[in-house]
Chains A and B, each alone.
Chain A
Amino acid sequence: MRDHIQFLLNGEAVTERHLDPTMTVLQYLRERRMQTGTKEGCAEGDCGACTVVLSELVDGKVRSRSVNACILFMGTLDGKEIRTVESLGTPDAPHEIQQLVAEKHVSQCGFCTPGIVMSLTALQASGTQKTKENIGEALAGNLCRCTGYGPIIDAAMAMTTDTNTNDTSAELSALRHDETVELSANVYGIEKRLYDPKTLDQLTRLITEHPIATLLAGGTDIGLWVTKHHKTLNKIIYLGNVEALNTIIEDDDVLNIGAGIKYADAINQLGALYPHMNTVMRRIGAAQVRNLGTIGGNIANGSPIGDMPPLLIAADAKLVLHSKEDERTIPLQDYFIDYGQQDLRTGEFVKSIIIPKPRTSQNYYAYKISKRFESDISAVCMAMSFDLVNGICSNVRIAYGGMAATPKRAEAAEIILEGHNWSEENVRKAMAVLTSDFTPIDDMRASKNYRMQVAQNLILKAWLEQQSDAPLHVLGADI
């Protein structure tokens, strides 16, 4: 095993050993490197002030994406590159984006500005077409309290598309990408260790040896255990570099998505199959979160308010659970037993998610309800799938997040529709019985009454959209 990580920091190769593996990249930059251009606004991946660009080699090419340095652990950087605002230019010799940001009055207090510059850098590097929509998507995770965002959009529209001046593929290739890394450090008298296996075998062996280790994928949740709950994670197994977990296999019938696949990697393929899934997935977190967070993680942590579980349960997804002894496949909904309790045995981990492709007779609707459209956690997330043949519903699957202690199907409502007419009358009946399916709670996101009312109305919304074949949404309205 290798006892050190190697990565590029603003183009320079860095080797670190005996480094606290859960030290955040933000802390490392500001406290170890004295590179204070990257700011802390929230330390939970929700404001984007700490945005840096994370690059890695994918099929021999450099892929650069915006990420939140505040919840990214140093132990996950092996073989990758971090670029910060300091890498671009200086006030005397600014980069094009920095020049535009100044000229277009993008900065007022300026505290969010470096993060915005880096999100724009990632957008520029992606070569994505510059439309207001794409700019919005790239910047939804960068909160600005001063400007109202207009100047930011102006600057983004004015920047040139990728000139690819920052091709570090040679430098990235030169880093070592082999061997399990074991990064360890004694932090305040506690031994902390992170394993970074590269193959499924190595991973399986490590999990068997260290069954209590924390499995870390994107870290968009686990990062907060450290930055907010001040938890000491003394043994971590990082999944991000295990190739077998980071592939999508497509055949005629299904997509088999590795548990380490990030939202950003799956969104296009899943979205092409289920357009409504596309819409909701683009509202999960913001770009920086979707660039780190994994679909497997969203499922594995068992949260009742994750959006992927209801989206995938409605699509009849299966979960592949792997251990040294065994590999088993279960329906996704069976994974969620109760709050904080999942069907996961010791030594077992989520390997992949199998998602059937839609049938021609299949209808699929999904909705996310939150206080704010972008970068918000759902009050209610609902997905509904059914086959419609001669006006009769079958294979009805209605799944909700935010309505119970786990992501859960609306069985009573499903029964109303299953084998029956797809009619407004039956839709309203299904809405009515939802009260027997769920007893939602009050919290800071919504009251129980609102949750129930909106959960019911979303079935009606699916009906209305199916009838008119047009989106019924304030964001989609023709104005």
Chain B
Amino acid sequence: MSVHKSVQHDSALKQACGAARYLDDIPEPKALLHMYIAMSTHAHADIKSMDLSAVENARGVQCVLCAKDIPGHNDISPFGGDDPLFAENLVEYVGQSLFAVAATTRELAIRAAMLAKIEYTPLPAVTTIEQARNAKLTIEDAKTITKGDATTAIQSANYRTQGSFVMGGQDHFYLEGMIAMALPLEDGDVHVYSSTQNPTEIQHLVAHVLGKTQKDVTVETRRMGGGFGGKETQPAIMAAACAIAATKTGKAVKCRLDRDDDMKMTGKRHDFIYGYDCGFDDTGRISGLDIILESRCGRSKDLSGPINDRAMFHADNSYDLPAAKITSHRYKTHTASNTAFRGFGGPQGMIGIERIIEDIAHQLDKDPLNIRLGNAYGDDKDNITPYGQIVKDAVVKEILQELAESSDYRARRSAIREYNKTSKFLKKGISITPVKFGISFTKTFLNQAGALVHVYADGSVHLNHGGTEMGQGLFIKVAQVVAEEFKIPLTQIKISATRTDKVPNTSATAASSGSDLNGMAALNAARKIKLRLIDHAAQKFKCAENDINFKDGMISGNGQSISFENLARSAYESRIQLSATGFYKTPKIRYNPVTLMGSPFYYFAYGASVSEVIIDTLTGENKTVRVDILHDCGKSLNPAIDKGQIEGGFIQGMGWLTTEELVYDDAGHLRTHAPSTYKIPTIGDRPKTMNIEIWDKGRNREETIYRSKAVGEPPFMLANSVYCALADAVSASSGYKFRANLNAPCTPEEILRAVTSLTNV
């Protein structure tokens, strides 16, 4: 079997040897120009004048581009029509692209850009959610999902909890920054190399700015040095600017953003203010919940609509809500347009209810796990989400119970409470939280994929599909699927770069859907060829097609056998087509994007985690010391790769909730735009003990690729237990008298603030 096996990443050795080529490692074309994109220094201003004459005359400069130089449309938005490639008269965030310079070296391009004379007329800048709320500035109308009558349910409940808290945004901090390179072709066409999760989108947008059609543009992506959602829409700036400069100058043009510029220019995870009002009974069972989600979308729509929709779809997390009202406000601010980031709004929507559960447990003086189990979807519930989808595989209770057992959660919780009695300044906390994450793009038409498989006459196989590789192991998983279908070793398959001229009209590699969609499409293509090979072998062996058997690189039937290589040769010589395209579309999903009611998801992925933390109540310093995870990957295609996603997702989520703080000043300048000031987890932040298990009972009830489940995003939200454990420790500093009022990220400063606020009650 090639599937369900821990095969190492296809590029692992090349990466370890520095031989895996990222975009900037491709040998450079002759006379390559290097581009720098100049950025706005104002959050909101009219551009009074922009004098670029000194830039044009600077040493080494061969091309300067601004809005008027765009041959096609000045828009690189995914669908909103509101993202100019270059600002025209107005700037709406610090970091917005103004113009581009292409010069003989990168340094000369940067130095030339510094010579621009730009005059602004500053306008009032709205940079925070509160300011946008007051100014009533939105990117689109608020949306609401209702189930039952939440208001009455809350008012008639015996118990009630209310509150609000803030969760910060997050920079993707992919290690490879944004980069693109465009090669001019004949007929004014371009070949664009882009570090993107979405080659088709880049192709479409490059054609759009060039005033051409998609056939005139080819986009190629072999691999990214990390994406995490940040390379879904954002790479368009670099790709489009390079493409214009390349067609203008007739030379290849490369644009590689410096880390600081990357962080200033591109969008991030949305920060949210989460407000709640919840009614419940003396067992902790929720009767009604009213949630208000307010998000900072930045200057344009980008993907904020679907991101906020997903936040709403995940406000229930794993819990059955008899009555719920979920309202979502999408605010416009004069900051970079926030964008996709692993979880796509899910984490922000989901973490709130975990806090609410902790509140309920605190009020009733119960173990939060009991409250979780009491509210979780399962046999005893109607299992209808607030948006009307029936949860058919409610396994979350089972996972929670198994994990509580294996992690010794209850005994450890008691021990921690004992420890906190005697430890005056250091306090420990613990929490167990579940994850239920909906799988499918909420824009239903995106749930499609294509693949292209060639079997050459020597039996070697070329594999191509619409998914992109950003480290998540998609390419090896899809190769495993094809190897399994042909029963050949993986070494016989060449994994190739994603290209829009091989597989057209693809969706972004996003929404955790990569393997589900592309694995199925590749299987479809491989199966077409396999059926032709079976037909050929049956004729050759003079037996029925049913009697043909593929095993270990051999094809046998009727007492005869032939190697895959020789069968391919024989089929070729018999003029049989050994190339096929494959296609897949996700079944069963349908919902109304206006009312948000229906079944947007094909299935759900589940998991749970226990985090134990310790805080210092004098300094707010904190550390996650032990984590236990049980995660449902269905029947994992590749347990090693999936485990990597689980651990990596958790640590990234932990970073979002602890050390990663985006700080803006009042004028809208991001003050944390490099790793010197923006702190993603380091090796020492990894909990000393991390027990990660893939749930051995996992099996997708839907017919996904080999019954596996998507695993890219769901583990990110396992880190919610870190936030709840920190809140538990903060509450311990008051002898559990008060619940913690904790915002995220829980930096030392935030922890100390929360501790101090309890002391001063």
Given A109-B226, A148-B647, A374-B682, check contact A446 B749 (CB 8 Å).
Answer: yes
Judge whether A107 and B9 touch: CB under 8 Å: yes
Compute how far the CA of A367 lies from the CA of B640 in the bound complex, rounded to whole angstroms. 40
Nearest B residue to A461 via CB reads B618
Interface string of B13-25 (1 = CB under 8 A from A): 1111111111011
Compute how far the CA of A37 lies from the CA of B692 in the bound complex, rounded to whole angstroms. 32
Q: Chain B interface residue count: which class? A: 35 or more
Judge whether B13 and A94 touch: CB under 8 Å: yes
Compute how far the CA of A91 lies from the CA of B10 in the bound complex, rounded to whole angstroms. 11
Judge whether B671 and A112 touch: CB under 8 Å: no
Compute how far the CA of A141 lies from the CA of B676 in the bound complex, rounded to whole angstroms. 11
Contacts of A112 in B (CB 8 A): 175, 225
B18: which of A36, A450, A473 is its contact (CB, 8 Å)? A36
Compute how far the CA of A85 lies from the CA of B347 in the bound complex, rounded to whole angstroms. 38
Min CB distance A222 to B, Å, is: 15
Interface residues of B in 19-43 (CB under 8 A from A): 19-22, 24-25, 27
Min CB distance B613 to A, Å, is: 9
Compute how far the CA of A133 lies from the CA of B579 in the bound complex, rounded to whole angstroms. 53
Judge whether B614 and A107 touch: CB under 8 Å: no
Whether a CB of chain A sits under 8 angstroms from the CB of B544 is no
Judge whether B20 and A110 touch: CB under 8 Å: yes
Judge whether A109 and B675 touch: CB under 8 Å: no
Judge whether A146 and B16 touch: CB under 8 Å: no
B644: which of A36, A44, A105, A444 is its contact (CB, 8 Å)? A105
Given A105-B641, A108-B473, A372-B685, check contact A145 B18 (CB 8 Å).
Answer: no
Whether a CB of chain A sits under 8 angstroms from the CB of B59 is yes
Interface residues of A in 406-449 (CB under 8 A from B): 443-447
A371: which of B114, B471, B650, B747 is its contact (CB, 8 Å)? B747
Min CB distance A60 to B, Å, is: 31
Compute how far the CA of A461 lies from the CA of B425 in the bound complex, rounded to whole angstroms. 9
Judge whether B8 and A47 touch: CB under 8 Å: no
Judge whether B17 and A373 touch: CB under 8 Å: no
Scoring B223, B425, B672, B676 by chain A CB atoms within 10 A of each residue's CB, the highest score goes to B676
Judge whether B260 and A372 touch: CB under 8 Å: no
Judge whether B59 and A188 touch: CB under 8 Å: yes
Judge whether B676 and A110 touch: CB under 8 Å: no
Interface string of A43-56 (1 = CB under 8 A from B): 11011010000000
Judge whether A147 and B647 touch: CB under 8 Å: yes
Judge whether B618 and A148 touch: CB under 8 Å: no
Whether a CB of chain B sits under 8 angstroms from the CB of A298 is no
**Interface residues of A, count at CB 8 A:** 93
Judge whether B17 and A464 touch: CB under 8 Å: no
Nearest A residue to B750 via CB reads A450
Interface residues of B in 442-493 (CB under 8 A from A): 470-473
Scoring A140, A148, A446 by chain B CB atoms within 10 A of each residue's CB, the highest score goes to A148
Given A146-B471, A464-B425, check contact A450 B15 (CB 8 Å).
Answer: no
B19: which of A90, A148, A151, A457 is its contact (CB, 8 Å)? A90
Min CB distance B623 to A, Å, is: 4
Min CB distance A281 to B, Å, is: 15
B619: which of A43, A98, A454 is its contact (CB, 8 Å)? A454
Compute how far the CA of A472 lies from the CA of B621 in the bound complex, rounded to whole angstroms. 11
Compute how far the CA of A109 lies from the CA of B630 in the bound complex, rounded to whole angstroms. 24
Given A147-B644, A148-B648, A474-B622, check contact A375 B682 (CB 8 Å).
Answer: yes
Compute how far the CA of A376 lies from the CA of B685 in the bound complex, rounded to whole angstroms. 12
Judge whether B18 and A472 touch: CB under 8 Å: no
Whether a CB of chain B sits under 8 angstroms from the CB of A460 is yes
Judge whether B11 and A107 touch: CB under 8 Å: yes
Given A47-B675, A111-B225, A146-B471, check contact A457 B683 (CB 8 Å).
Answer: no
Nearest B residue to A457 via CB reads B618
Interface string of B103-146 (1 = CB under 8 A from A): 00001101100100000000000000000000000000000000
Compute how far the CA of A420 lies from the CA of B27 in the bound complex, rounded to whole angstroms. 71
Contacts of A373 in B (CB 8 A): 621, 623, 682, 684-685
B677: which of A148, A149, A445 is its contact (CB, 8 Å)? A445
Compute how far the CA of A228 lies from the CA of B175 in the bound complex, rounded to whole angstroms. 17
Min CB distance B257 to A, Å, is: 11
Interface residues of A in 307-327 (CB under 8 A from B): none
Whether a CB of chain B sits under 8 angstroms from the CB of A377 is yes
Whether a CB of chain A sits under 8 angstroms from the CB of B503 is no
Nearest B residue to A107 via CB reads B15
Judge whether B659 and A372 touch: CB under 8 Å: yes
Judge whether B259 and A140 touch: CB under 8 Å: no
B682: which of A113, A140, A450 is its contact (CB, 8 Å)? A140
Judge whether B683 and A149 touch: CB under 8 Å: yes
Given A91-B17, A444-B671, check contact A143 B680 (CB 8 Å).
Answer: yes
Min CB distance B17 to A, Å, is: 5
Scoring B652, B661, B749 by chain A CB atoms within 10 A of each residue's CB, the highest score goes to B749
Judge whether A91 and B426 touch: CB under 8 Å: no
Interface string of A124-159 (1 = CB under 8 A from B): 000000001001100111111111111111000000
Judge whether B683 and A89 touch: CB under 8 Å: no
Contacts of B227 in A (CB 8 A): 109
Interface residues of A in 141-196 (CB under 8 A from B): 141-153, 188-189
Judge whether B12 and A101 touch: CB under 8 Å: yes
Whether a CB of chain B sits under 8 angstroms from the CB of A82 is no
Contacts of A40 in B (CB 8 A): 24, 177
Contacts of A90 in B (CB 8 A): 17, 19
Compute how far the CA of A187 lies from the CA of B625 in the bound complex, rounded to whole angstroms. 52
Contacts of A107 in B (CB 8 A): 9, 11-12, 15-16, 471
Compute how far the CA of A367 lies from the CA of B616 in the bound complex, rounded to whole angstroms. 13
Whether a CB of chain B sits under 8 angstroms from the CB of A117 is yes
Contacts of A38 in B (CB 8 A): 18
Compute how far the CA of A59 lies from the CA of B134 in the bound complex, rounded to whole angstroms. 68
Compute how far the CA of A444 lies from the CA of B661 in the bound complex, rounded to whole angstroms. 9
Judge whether B749 and A140 touch: CB under 8 Å: no
Judge whether A108 and B616 touch: CB under 8 Å: no
Judge whether A474 and B176 touch: CB under 8 Å: no
Scoring B9, B225, B227, B425 by chain A CB atoms within 10 A of each residue's CB, the highest score goes to B225
Compute how far the CA of A105 lies from the CA of B470 in the bound complex, rounded to whole angstroms. 15
Given A49-B175, A148-B686, check contact A44 B676 (CB 8 Å).
Answer: yes
Min CB distance A30 to B, Å, is: 8
Compute how far the CA of A370 lies from the CA of B612 in the bound complex, rounded to whole angstroms. 21
A444: which of B426, B677, B752 is its contact (CB, 8 Å)? B677
Whether a CB of chain B sits under 8 angstroms from the CB of A106 is yes
Whether a CB of chain A sits under 8 angstroms from the CB of B615 is yes
Judge whether B683 and A142 touch: CB under 8 Å: yes
Min CB distance B667 to A, Å, is: 14
Compute how far the CA of A460 lies from the CA of B425 in the bound complex, rounded to whole angstroms. 11
Whether a CB of chain B sits under 8 angstroms from the CB of A453 is yes
Judge whether B18 and A447 touch: CB under 8 Å: no
Q: List, sorted by A's number, 30 A–B pairs whose CB atoms are closer than 8 Å.
A: A36-B24, A39-B176, A90-B19, A91-B13, A91-B19, A101-B15, A102-B9, A102-B12, A102-B15, A106-B12, A107-B12, A110-B9, A110-B225, A112-B225, A145-B172, A148-B686, A149-B682, A188-B111, A371-B659, A371-B747, A372-B659, A372-B679, A372-B685, A374-B685, A376-B679, A444-B672, A453-B756, A457-B618, A460-B618, A479-B688
Residues of A within 8 A of B (CB): 30, 34-44, 46-47, 49, 84-86, 88-91, 94, 97-99, 101-103, 105-114, 117, 132, 135-136, 139-153, 188-189, 228, 230, 286, 367, 369-377, 379, 443-447, 450, 453-454, 457-458, 460-461, 464, 472-475, 477, 479
Residues of B within 8 A of A (CB): 8-9, 11-22, 24-25, 27, 59-60, 107-108, 110-111, 114, 172-177, 223-228, 258-260, 425-426, 428, 470-473, 612, 614-616, 618-623, 625-626, 640-641, 643-644, 647-652, 659, 661, 663, 671-672, 674-677, 679-686, 688, 690, 692, 747-749, 752-753, 756
Beyond A143-B682, A372-B682, 12 additional pairs, beta carbon < 8 A: A30-B24, A85-B17, A88-B17, A89-B17, A105-B644, A107-B16, A140-B683, A189-B59, A371-B659, A374-B682, A445-B677, A457-B618
Interface pairs A-B: 3 shortest CB-CB:
A37-B18, A109-B471, A111-B225
